[in-house]
A and B are shown apart, each in its own frame.
Chain A
């Protein structure tokens, strides 16, 4: 089994200071190290529960990575890893964005220390104001023919206007590292719009969240992925996936109103960009 570090990680845990990072193989699998304390257990418990939950409709299941159990991996000193579907294996040049959903990342079951830490982070970012924050993104520059990632520190400090700009840059073709040029949002309708686009998928998820009381997806992210190779032909293959389930708890008969509120806010941002880019193109 040939394992290597994944190419397009945008947020989360990378291999650092001797700690294992995620790995991918050549068979479309993603190996995620089991996180310390109870988080790894919680994530496994979630995937086990979710895979066998017959009440999750098939059209919703597609928004979650396929689970392949856990495995001890030799190259990581036999550390236990969660084996998942590699969400990017079928993409050759993917642009990826990680959006952490919810106006709070803490939850009642968490420790006091964790709650305080989250409160600080949530207040400093757009989490409190907008119901979500952008954890990271990587976008392909069609002029420079290379990938571009914003500075992590810069991203952490952005406000609402910064979010809007990031969502525009994410679907633009023009030079991104040049901050003086305005993003052209050239791919907005291919990626965000259309019957298979991001907005349609988010709306489908929203309907499920208005009723499902199985899980509370605390601190979960939505990954947005699209293919740059085919996008000039209008084929974006845009995909929404939910990831990071280390803090998922039972819904106990209550909907995940925290995630839902944030999701609705995010939908509104995407819709605004789609509408303003549609307006722009009809003016040309």
Chain B
């Protein structure tokens, strides 16, 4: 068994910190996500099982989901013992210096059937963040500052307080070359990362088209994780940004029951409009 270590490029969710449980990577392309408590880990594994074998998911859509490799009991990141982990393809494997951003999609993170307590907590979070107003909220990001040659990591507890203008600014900074401390981001990489036939926008539009008709799953509390390679961005004749969109976090996925995931779709459409606005400006 290869040695498992902390991933370098985690941007949101549960990071191994201060003794808390975090994910692990094997350095050869596999990502180990510890089962989340209260049955959520089992639910997530169950979703991946269902999704992997669901013949009704078109191939080009499957590419937006991490590849699943089953589960395994391994030693946790904080050495507290052994726990089942979900094994996925490490989506940033092969990227040297990726900037990444995690955006939770949907104007509500609760769904029918949850406990009163969970509903109240979700509603409070949705109203306090940009979820209700924008249909999405930032969960964290890691952006490479080309001026200072280092990463800026902004965690959930800070982005949680974002308002509409902060969200817009973050999306602009995500594709900028000037220092992130500057007030006005230059959006120098907007067309390379967001634009183009295989850029972020094109991928989001492809996902959106699927969401307009798919009634298989309702993705509550799921995130769009977008990332790109900084290394090749500035090189002429290189691979370019290699920007990618992945859907992540499937602890609260429900059966669609013949209805489209209108909550996710609305939020996704709003997010797309924000990206389009940045491309056009």
Q: Residues of A with Cβ closer than 8 Å to B?
A: 103-104, 108, 119, 123, 128-131, 160, 210-211, 213, 252-255, 257-258, 260-262, 264-265, 267-268
Can you list 16 pairs linking A and B with CB atoms under 8 Å apart?
A: A103-B266, A128-B112, A129-B259, A131-B262, A210-B272, A253-B277, A257-B134, A261-B265, A261-B267, A261-B269, A262-B266, A265-B259, A265-B262, A267-B212, A268-B215, A268-B259
Whether A211 pairs with B107 at a CB distance below 8 angstroms is no
Chain A residue with Cβ nearest B267: A257
Question: Which of chain B's residues have a CB closer than 8 A to the CB of A128?
Answer: 112
Query: Using a CB-CB cutoff of 8 Å, which residues 211-226 of chain B contact chain A?
Result: 212-213, 215
Does B134 lie within 8 Å of A254, measured CB to CB?
Answer: yes
Among residues of A, the one whose C-beta sits closest to the C-beta of B213 is A268
What residues on B are CB-neighbors of A253 within 8 Å? 164, 277
Binding site for A on B (CB under 8 A): 107-108, 112, 123, 127, 132-135, 164, 212-213, 215, 257-260, 262-263, 265-267, 269-270, 272-273, 277
Chain A contacts of B213 at CB under 8 A?
268
Expressed in whole angstroms, the minimum distance between the Cβ of B206 and any Cβ of chain A is 15
A200 to B127, CA, bound (A): 35
Q: Judging by beta carbons under 8 Å apart, are B262 and A264 in contact? A: yes
Residues of B within 8 A of A131 (CB): 259-260, 262-263, 266
Contact indicator A104/B108 (Cβ below 8 Å): yes
- Taken together as a complex, chains A and B put the C-alpha atoms of A130 and B262 apart, in Å, by 7
CA distance A210 to B259 in the complex (A): 20
- CB pair B164–A252 under 8 Å, yes or no, is yes
Knowing A128-B112, A252-B164 touch, does A258 contact B269 (C-beta < 8 A)?
A: no
Q: Determine the residue in chain B with the shortest Cβ distance to A115.
A: B127
Is A264 in contact with B260, judged by CB distance below 8 angstroms?
yes
CB distance from A101 to the nearest CB of B (A): 10
Partner of B270, one of A103, A119, A255, A264: A255
